[in-house]
Amino acid sequence: MSKEKNIKSKGKIVKSKSDINTPNTISKLKVKFLLVVTLILIVLLISRIFCLQFIDGDRLQAAATSQQTLTETLSAKRGTIYDSTGRNVLAISYESDKIYINPSDISDSNIEIVAQGVAEILELDYAELLSKINTTEKRFLVASDVEQEKTDKLEEWIDKMTEEKIKTGISIEETTSRSYPYKNLASTVIGFVNSDNHGSYGIEYSWDSFLSGTPGKSVSLKDASQSEIANSEQTYIAAENGYDINLTIDVNIQSIVEKYLAEAVDLYECDSGITIAMDPSTGKIKAMADYPNYDCNSPNTPNSYLAETWDTLTSEQKTTQLFRMWSPKAVTDTYEPGSVFKIITSAIALEEDITDTDIENTFYCTGHYYIEGEDEPIDCWRYYDPHESQTLRNALENSCNPAFIELGLKIGAETSYKYYDAFGLFNKTGISLSGESNSIFYDLEKIKPIELGVLSFGQRFNITPIQMITAISAIANDGVLVQPQIVDKMTNTDTGEVTTFETKEIRQVISKETADKVKSMMESVVNHGSGGQAKVAGYSVGGKTGTSEPRWGTSDGYIASFVAISPVENTKIVLLVILKNPKGGQHNGGQIAAPTASKMLSEILPYMGVESGNKDTSTNSDMSNADLY
C-alpha cells in the first residue's frame, strides 16, 4: 500500500499515491558486508603483526642486525713448533695476504680491465684469470701468500679504479702462512697445515687444538656502503694465540739419523726405512725418521721415489700414495720384528727362572727343530753347520731359531702372553701422534706349538716400530716400562705459562736383575755374535739383529732390522733401524741394519756427551757371524 506524500504544484497542495525511491539510500545488507570485510582485514592485519612480532621476530631481528653490523674475524696466530733445545724452529707462522675476486661485483664491460690489472700486478696468466672470472659465479681465491710489495701495488690500483667508478670485486684478506725451515727433516712427525691453516698429519694435526688458538672478533655498525660508521659503538674480543710446542726431538740427532737412513735405503736398494731413537729412562723420542719423506712446505708434491711412477697413477692412486707419504710410519705401520724379538723371549725365560744366561748344554742345535705334530721341521739359519751345544747367551749371539723354539715351548703360551701384555705389545703406546696402529697377534685360544714356536723368534705376528722400541727400552730401563713421548712442553704465548709433560712410568715388567742379564747378553751379541758390525769405537753397545722372511705367497720381501742400546750400563739411547725389502745382494739385519746403526751411534753418542770407555770395541770385519739373522 502506497504512502501518501504532499506535493506543492502551482501553489496548491496535491496528494500523491505513488512510491518515491531515493537513489542515495544504502541497504542494510551492504553495510553488513562492508563491516565483515573490514573485520576480516583487521584480523588479517593483527595476525600478520603477530607473526612478524612473535613468530618471525627473532629471525627478522637477526637479519636486520646482520645488515647493520660489520663483523670482522681476528685471526689467532698459530703456535711455533721447536725441537727439544728450543733453539731450532721446526714450524713457524708469518703474516701474509690472500687475494679474492667476486665476479658478481664486476660489470661485464669491466671484466677485461680487472683481469688485465690483477694479472699484471700478481704475475698471473691473464687468459686463465679472465676465463675464471667469466665462468665462476661465486667469490674465489686468486692468490695466497702474496708478497707485501704486490699487495701494496694492488691496493693502489684498486683505489685508482674506484676513482674511475670501476668496481673490481677484489678483496684482500690478511692471513697467516706456515713455513718449515728444515723442509724434509722429521716431516712425517711434524706434518703440515691445509689451506684453512688447520693441521694435517703429524704434530700439526694431533696438537691442532693447541697450536691453532681461538680467533677473536670485532663488531661495529656499518652504513649502506658496508663501511664502518665512525664513532659507533664497537665490541672487541681479542684472539687467543696458539701455544708454542717443544718436541722431544733433537734436530741434530734427527739429522744424523736421517742422513744414514737415506744412505742405507739407497745403498741396499730398499723400498723404505724407519728409525727411532729413544731415551729409555724418560720415553722421550730423540729422533723418528722415515725415508723417503717429503717437504712440509709443498706436501702435495710427490717425493723423488713417488715421482718415478706418478704419471702412471690414477687420481685415486695418487691420493692414496700421498696419504701414505705423509704418514708417520713408525706409529702407523706394523711389521714382523724377526729375531730382535728374541730379546723379549730371553727376558721372559730369565724372569720365570726357566734358565740362566750361561748354563752349559742348555740347548743343542742340530740345524733343525721338529715340533710334535708337524710334518716339516723349522730350520736354523745355519742348518748346514749346526751350532750344537749352547748356553742362552750363545743362542742369542748365534740367533739360533731351534734354541728359541725350545725356549718358547718351555715358557708356554699363557705365560708368554702375560709378558707380552706387560711389555705393552697388546695395546697402542699412547704416543701423541694420530693414526697409531695396534699389534696383530694370534688369539691365545688358537695358539698351538707351531704358532708358539715361531712367535718365540718374532715371526707370524705384527707390531709397530714404536711398540718394539718401547718394549726394548723397558729392558734398558732396569725393567720399567715408560710411555713414549714426542712433546716435551707447550707454552701459552699470551700468558707465558709453561706446561711440561713429565715421564709416565707404566709398570715394572721384569726385575732389574733380569734386565741386567739381558743387556749383558745383548752386549755379547755385538762383541761376539751376529751384531758385530754395530760396534762403535770407544763405546759399549748391546744389540740384536733381526731378519723377517717374506710370508709364503706374498711379495712383501725381507725386513732387516737392528736394535741397539748404548752405553750398556746406564743406557742413554735405544736405537731401532728397520730396512724394508732390500733388493741388493744382502738382506740380513746383521749385514745392513747393524752397520747403519753403528754409523748413527758413532755421531749421536759424542754429540750427547756420552763418555767413551776403554773397552776394545773395534769392529771385527772378519767375524764369521756377520751375516747372521
Question: For the segment 435-457, what is each residue's pLDDT rounded down to a tens digit?
Answer: 999 999 999 999 999 999 999 99
User: Mind listing the pLDDT tens digit for each residue in 582-621?
Assistant: 997 889 999 999 999 999 999 999 999 998 875 544 544 4
CA distance 348 to 26: 114
Tell me how far the alpha carbon of residue 65 is from its chain's centroid: 41
Does residue 544 fall inside a structural domain?
yes
CA distance 252 to 349: 38
CA distance 404 to 391: 11
Does residue 290 fall inside a structural domain?
no
Does residue 75 fall inside a structural domain?
yes
Expressed as residue numbers, the domain containing 176 is 94-181
What pLDDT was estimated at residue 74? 64
Does residue 208 fall inside a structural domain?
yes
What pLDDT was estimated at residue 546? 95
Does residue 572 fall inside a structural domain?
yes
CATH number of 190's domain:
3.90.1310.10
Tell me how far the alpha carbon of residue 442 is from its chain's centroid: 29
At 108, is the secondary structure helix, strand, or coil? helix
Indicate whether 188 and 167 sit together in one domain: no
Indicate whether 482 and 504 sit together in one domain: yes
What pLDDT was estimated at residue 57? 64
If 0-12 CB within 10 Å is exposed, 13-18 middle and 19+ buried, where does residue 159 land? exposed
Does residue 314 fall inside a structural domain?
no
Query: Among 247, 274, 297, where does a domain finish?
Result: 247
Indicate whether 226 and 139 sit together in one domain: no
At 9, is the secondary structure helix, strand, or coil? strand
Indicate whether 377 and 442 sit together in one domain: yes
What pLDDT was estimated at residue 9? 46
| Mean pLDDT of the residues in the chain | 87
What pLDDT was estimated at residue 629? 59
Highest mean pLDDT among 70-74, 151-155, 388-392, 584-588: 388-392
Indicate whether 167 and 190 sit together in one domain: no
Does residue 571 fall inside a structural domain?
yes
Indicate whether 204 and 174 sit together in one domain: no
CA distance 493 to 78: 10
- Read off the C-alpha cell for 393: 747367551
Alpha-carbon dihedral angle through residues 320, 321, 325, 328, given to the nearest 10 degrees:
40
Give the range among 95-104, 198-207, 488-497 with minimum mean pLDDT. 95-104
114 to each of 134, 496, 605, how far by Cα in Å? Answer: 11, 47, 62
Indicate whether 355 and 228 sit together in one domain: no
Query: Among 130, 148, 181, where does a domain finish?
Result: 181
Does residue 505 fall inside a structural domain?
yes
pLDDT at residue 122 above 80?
yes
Indicate whether 526 and 433 sit together in one domain: yes
User: Mind listing the pLDDT tens digit for each residue in 512-526?
Assistant: 999 999 999 999 999
Neighbours of 176 (CB within 10 A): 17
Tell me how far the alpha carbon of residue 477 is from its chain's centroid: 28
CA distance 22 to 19: 10
pLDDT band at 11 (very low <50, low <70, confident <90, very high): very low
Looking at the chain, the whole-number percentage of residues with pLDDT higher than 90 is: 61
Q: In this predicted model, which residue has the larger pLDDT, 21 or 205?
A: 205
Do 199 and 191 touch, CB atoms closer than 8 A?
yes
Query: Among 181, 212, 237, where does a domain finish?
Result: 181
Give the range among 360-364, 487-491, 551-555, 577-581 with minimum mean pLDDT. 551-555
Do 95 and 176 touch, CB atoms closer than 8 A?
yes
Tell me how far the alpha carbon of residue 203 is from its chain's centroid: 6
CATH number of 127's domain:
3.30.70.2110
Instruction: Please give the tally of structural domains in the chain.
Output: 3
CA distance 555 to 540: 38
Indicate whether 82 and 99 sit together in one domain: no
CATH number of 531's domain:
3.40.710.10
Do 171 and 100 touch, CB atoms closer than 8 A?
yes
- Read off the C-alpha cell for 113: 680491465
pLDDT band at 238 (very low <50, low <70, confident <90, very high): confident
Is residue 95 within a helix (H) or strand (E), and if so which, with residue range? strand 89-101
Indicate whether 514 and 585 sit together in one domain: yes
Indicate whether 407 and 447 sit together in one domain: yes
Indicate whether 129 and 241 sit together in one domain: no
pLDDT at residue 622 above 70?
no
